Amino acid sequence: ATVHQACTKKKKIMIRTQVTRVAGFRVPDASQVSRIVRSVLVGERKAKAFISVIFTDDERSTALNRTFLRHTYVTDVITFALETEPIVEAEIYINAEQARRQAKQAKVPLRQEYTRLLVHGVLHCCGYTDRRTKDRKDMFEKQEQYVLVAERQQGRKGRKG
Protein backbone atom coordinates (compact mmCIF):
# COMPACT_ATOMS: atom_id res chain seq x y z
CA ALA A 1 0.00 0.00 0.00
CA THR A 2 1.18 3.49 -0.79
CA VAL A 3 0.03 6.68 0.93
CA HIS A 4 0.39 10.14 -0.59
CA GLN A 5 -0.37 13.34 1.31
CA ALA A 6 0.28 16.93 0.28
CA CYS A 7 -0.74 20.41 1.28
CA THR A 8 -1.70 23.37 -0.87
CA LYS A 9 -2.17 26.98 0.16
CA LYS A 10 -5.98 26.76 0.01
CA LYS A 11 -6.75 23.32 1.41
CA LYS A 12 -5.15 20.14 2.55
CA ILE A 13 -5.06 17.35 0.01
CA MET A 14 -5.06 13.84 1.40
CA ILE A 15 -5.27 11.03 -1.11
CA ARG A 16 -4.49 7.46 -0.13
CA THR A 17 -4.10 4.68 -2.64
CA GLN A 18 -3.82 1.00 -1.86
CA VAL A 19 -2.71 -1.40 -4.60
CA THR A 20 -3.28 -5.15 -4.65
CA ARG A 21 -1.86 -7.38 -7.38
CA VAL A 22 -2.89 -10.73 -8.75
CA ALA A 23 0.04 -13.15 -8.87
CA GLY A 24 1.69 -13.87 -12.19
CA PHE A 25 0.88 -10.62 -14.01
CA ARG A 26 3.09 -7.65 -14.76
CA VAL A 27 1.30 -4.58 -13.41
CA PRO A 28 2.37 -1.02 -12.58
CA ASP A 29 4.07 -0.45 -9.25
CA ALA A 30 2.15 1.14 -6.39
CA SER A 31 3.90 4.51 -6.64
CA GLN A 32 3.03 4.84 -10.34
CA VAL A 33 -0.61 3.90 -9.66
CA SER A 34 -0.76 6.42 -6.82
CA ARG A 35 0.65 9.22 -8.99
CA ILE A 36 -1.99 8.62 -11.68
CA VAL A 37 -4.85 8.38 -9.18
CA ARG A 38 -3.71 11.55 -7.44
CA SER A 39 -3.32 13.45 -10.71
CA VAL A 40 -6.90 12.68 -11.77
CA LEU A 41 -8.42 13.37 -8.35
CA VAL A 42 -6.60 16.70 -7.98
CA GLY A 43 -7.59 17.61 -11.55
CA GLU A 44 -11.20 16.87 -10.64
CA ARG A 45 -10.89 18.96 -7.47
CA LYS A 46 -11.22 16.03 -5.08
CA ALA A 47 -9.04 16.78 -2.07
CA LYS A 48 -9.72 13.72 0.07
CA ALA A 49 -9.87 10.15 -1.13
CA PHE A 50 -9.14 6.55 -0.38
CA ILE A 51 -8.90 4.46 -3.52
CA SER A 52 -8.18 0.76 -3.53
CA VAL A 53 -6.88 -0.54 -6.87
CA ILE A 54 -7.01 -4.27 -7.39
CA PHE A 55 -5.35 -5.87 -10.40
CA THR A 56 -7.23 -9.05 -11.18
CA ASP A 57 -7.75 -11.65 -13.92
CA ASP A 58 -10.48 -12.74 -16.37
CA GLU A 59 -12.11 -15.15 -13.94
CA ARG A 60 -12.46 -12.65 -11.09
CA SER A 61 -13.43 -9.80 -13.42
CA THR A 62 -16.19 -11.86 -15.04
CA ALA A 63 -17.47 -12.99 -11.64
CA LEU A 64 -17.63 -9.39 -10.37
CA ASN A 65 -19.31 -8.25 -13.58
CA ARG A 66 -21.93 -11.01 -13.33
CA THR A 67 -22.57 -10.63 -9.60
CA PHE A 68 -22.79 -6.86 -9.34
CA LEU A 69 -23.67 -5.61 -12.83
CA ARG A 70 -25.51 -8.66 -14.17
CA HIS A 71 -23.26 -8.80 -17.25
CA THR A 72 -22.03 -12.18 -18.45
CA TYR A 73 -18.80 -11.14 -20.13
CA VAL A 74 -15.22 -10.34 -19.23
CA THR A 75 -14.51 -6.65 -18.73
CA ASP A 76 -11.42 -4.47 -18.42
CA VAL A 77 -12.26 -2.26 -15.44
CA ILE A 78 -15.01 -2.18 -12.82
CA THR A 79 -15.38 0.68 -10.35
CA PHE A 80 -17.33 0.59 -7.12
CA ALA A 81 -17.73 4.15 -5.84
CA LEU A 82 -18.57 3.57 -2.17
CA GLU A 83 -18.65 7.28 -1.21
CA THR A 84 -18.25 10.45 -3.24
CA GLU A 85 -18.64 13.21 -0.64
CA PRO A 86 -16.99 14.51 1.45
CA ILE A 87 -14.34 11.85 0.86
CA VAL A 88 -14.12 9.79 -2.31
CA GLU A 89 -13.89 6.14 -1.35
CA ALA A 90 -13.79 3.49 -4.06
CA GLU A 91 -12.52 0.15 -5.29
CA ILE A 92 -11.23 -0.13 -8.85
CA TYR A 93 -10.72 -3.61 -10.31
CA ILE A 94 -8.48 -3.72 -13.38
CA ASN A 95 -8.34 -6.95 -15.37
CA ALA A 96 -4.66 -7.54 -16.18
CA GLU A 97 -5.44 -10.21 -18.80
CA GLN A 98 -7.90 -7.99 -20.67
CA ALA A 99 -5.51 -5.02 -20.43
CA ARG A 100 -2.82 -7.10 -22.11
CA ARG A 101 -5.18 -8.09 -24.96
CA GLN A 102 -6.39 -4.52 -25.46
CA ALA A 103 -2.85 -3.12 -25.51
CA LYS A 104 -1.85 -5.63 -28.14
CA GLN A 105 -4.95 -4.93 -30.24
CA ALA A 106 -4.51 -1.14 -30.01
CA LYS A 107 -0.74 -1.48 -30.54
CA VAL A 108 0.07 0.58 -27.46
CA PRO A 109 2.42 -0.22 -24.56
CA LEU A 110 0.80 -2.22 -21.76
CA ARG A 111 1.76 0.59 -19.35
CA GLN A 112 -0.38 3.02 -21.37
CA GLU A 113 -3.37 0.66 -21.37
CA TYR A 114 -3.11 0.29 -17.60
CA THR A 115 -3.01 4.08 -17.32
CA ARG A 116 -6.10 4.38 -19.51
CA LEU A 117 -8.06 1.84 -17.44
CA LEU A 118 -6.96 3.40 -14.17
CA VAL A 119 -7.95 6.90 -15.31
CA HIS A 120 -11.29 5.54 -16.53
CA GLY A 121 -11.94 3.95 -13.14
CA VAL A 122 -11.01 7.11 -11.23
CA LEU A 123 -13.29 9.22 -13.43
CA HIS A 124 -16.16 6.89 -12.49
CA CYS A 125 -15.27 7.61 -8.84
CA CYS A 126 -15.69 11.31 -9.62
CA GLY A 127 -19.19 10.84 -11.02
CA TYR A 128 -18.55 10.39 -14.74
CA THR A 129 -20.64 7.81 -16.52
CA ASP A 130 -20.39 6.09 -19.88
CA ARG A 131 -23.89 4.66 -20.23
CA ARG A 132 -25.21 7.15 -22.80
CA THR A 133 -23.42 8.07 -26.01
CA LYS A 134 -22.88 11.75 -25.10
CA ASP A 135 -21.68 10.88 -21.59
CA ARG A 136 -19.35 8.24 -23.05
CA LYS A 137 -17.90 10.80 -25.50
CA ASP A 138 -17.36 13.40 -22.75
CA MET A 139 -15.80 10.83 -20.43
CA PHE A 140 -13.54 9.48 -23.17
CA GLU A 141 -12.24 12.98 -24.00
CA LYS A 142 -11.52 13.70 -20.33
CA GLN A 143 -9.91 10.27 -19.95
CA GLU A 144 -7.58 10.78 -22.90
CA GLN A 145 -6.49 14.19 -21.57
CA TYR A 146 -5.43 12.59 -18.27
CA VAL A 147 -3.74 9.69 -20.09
CA LEU A 148 -1.72 12.19 -22.13
CA VAL A 149 -0.66 14.05 -18.97
CA ALA A 150 0.33 10.78 -17.27
CA GLU A 151 2.31 9.66 -20.32
CA ARG A 152 4.18 12.99 -20.41
CA GLN A 153 4.99 12.70 -16.71
CA GLN A 154 6.15 9.12 -17.17
CA GLY A 155 8.34 10.23 -20.10
CA ARG A 156 10.02 12.91 -17.99
CA LYS A 157 10.74 10.37 -15.25
CA GLY A 158 12.21 7.99 -17.80
CA ARG A 159 14.66 10.64 -19.08
CA LYS A 160 15.83 11.53 -15.56
CA GLY A 161 16.39 7.93 -14.47
What is the residue-level pLDDT of the chain in tens, covering all 161 positions?
333 444 344 457 788 988 988 767 889 989 999 999 999 999 999 989 999 999 999 999 999 999 999 998 999 999 999 988 889 999 999 999 999 999 999 999 999 999 999 999 999 999 998 888 888 899 999 999 999 999 988 776 654 43
Q: Is residue 151 classed as helix, strand or coil in its secondary structure?
A: helix
- Measured between alpha carbons, how far is 51 from 14 in angstroms, rounded to an integer? 11
pLDDT at position 13 = 76
Query: Under 8 Å CB-to-CB from 22, ≥6 apart: which residues?
Result: 54, 55, 56, 57, 60, 96
Measure the CA–CA gap between 126 and 38, rounded to whole angstroms. 12
pLDDT at 80: 95
Backbone angles phi, psi at 108, to 5 degrees: -125, 160
- Distance, CA of 139 to CA of 21 (rounded, Å): 26
What's the chain's Rg over C-alpha atoms? 15
**pLDDT for position 154:** 79
Instruction: Check residue 68 and give its pLDDT.
Output: 93
